[in-house]
Amino acid sequence: MRVAVVGATGLVGGEMLRTLEELNFPVTELIPVASARSVGNKVSFAGKEWSVVGMEEGIAAKPEIALFSAGGSTSKEWAPKFVAAGAIVIDNSSAWRMEANIPLVVPEVNLDSIHGGRLIANPNCSTIQMVTALAPIYRKYRIKRLVISTYQSVTGTGKAAVDQLFAEREGREYTPVYPTRIDLNCIPQCDVFTDNDYTKEEMKLVHETRKILGDPSIRITATAVRVPVIGGHSEAVNVETELPFDIADIKQAFSDAPGVILLDDIANLSYPTPRIAHGKHEVFVGRVRRDESNDNTFNCWIVADNLRKGAATNAVQIALGLIGR
């Protein structure tokens, strides 16, 4: 199978290459695609070196699947051209997520929402990990309301943000990405602010969760915070359900959920952290406990590698799911 990775030299593109290998995707020919300044560079995949090509050459190579992680404007321009050339495009940007006719997919949750279309949207990283964990809870108990606080790795912003963190730590000069220092700090802003004083990241959690679960009635509010962490995003989520539950059954639902690992042993101080999630494909859940201030409500802590399950892994799993069908 000919597979193009568009944005192959970026953080997520590199994780896509590693994930394709680790999940044994049947790649017969890799087509690494990037911007003009990267054309001719080499990327490593499956024990070989592959030359990076530009967009037009990538289209001419006739990939059967194209994994896009090159930004929204690039996707808007080029994804339809790859589709016209016969590729199935799985796009990691925000360009297509809220388009009514474009499926927004987390394979463990709604793979069946793909009905023959050749352009598929990968959700936002924070949404992916939360919905992967909470979908079984939604199905069994129905979710009325979510109150979400995220603690997001600098890798979610990109290479320049990682450089800012370590440059601050090492006392080097750097080109700032964030409006203030990130090392030894927390910044209560992920992405830009919108007209309602929430950030785009916060509103993505609202709109994307409703679309994936197919339920616009869920009440959702979020605060997204950037933290000086490498390895994954963490989320403290307060979940109010319509139906009563036993907290042991909630833990069992997490334990049984596909793609989820329950790590919830407070007697031994065992719970998920970004260091545990780093490089892993799964979503980790812990600190599951009843909210004693409100009926039918519990708290949980959800952690995943935002470059893996939050981006590359989810995209590759979508492609694997399509092959399986």
Q: What is the mean pLDDT of residues 276-284?
A: 98
Q: Which of 125, 190, 278, 300 is catalytic?
A: 125
Of the listed ranges 114-118, 200-204, 291-295, the least confidently predicted one is 114-118
Q: Is 115 a catalytic residue?
A: no
All structural domains of the chain, each given as residue ranges with its CATH number in brackets, are 2-123+311-324 (3.40.50.720), 127-305 (3.30.360.10)
**Neighbour count for residue 57 (Cβ, 10 Å):** 13
Whole-angstrom Cα distance, residue 62 to residue 85? 6
Whole-angstrom Cα distance, residue 248 to residue 239? 15
Q: What is the mean pLDDT of residues 2-6?
A: 98
Whole-angstrom Cα distance, residue 308 to residue 258? 16
Whole-angstrom Cα distance, residue 247 to residue 75? 43
Q: At what angle do helices 200-213 and 125-141 cross, to 10 degrees?
A: 40
Supply the pLDDT for residue 312: 98
Q: What is the mean pLDDT of residues 211-225?
A: 98
Q: Mean pLDDT in the chain?
A: 97
Q: pTM of whole model > 0.85?
A: yes
Q: What is the token pair recorded at 276?
A: 């545990």
Supply the pLDDT for residue 93: 95
pLDDT in tens, 66-124: 999 999 999 999 999 999 999 999 999 999 999 999 999 999 999 999 998 899 999 99
Looking at the predicted structure, is the pLDDT value of residue 213 above 90? yes
Whole-angstrom Cα distance, residue 277 to residue 284? 7
Supply the pLDDT for residue 60: 98
Q: Which of 190, 233, 281, 300 is catalytic?
A: 233
pLDDT band with cut points at 50, 70 and 90 for residue 324: confident
Provide the percentage of residues in the chain whose pLDDT is more than 70: 100
Helix (H, G, I), strand (E, B) or coil at 160: helix
Q: Is 233 a catalytic residue?
A: yes
Residue type, 312: A
Supply the pLDDT for residue 325: 78
Across-strand partners of 199? 193
Q: What is the mean pLDDT of residues 162-191?
A: 97
Supply the pLDDT for residue 215: 98
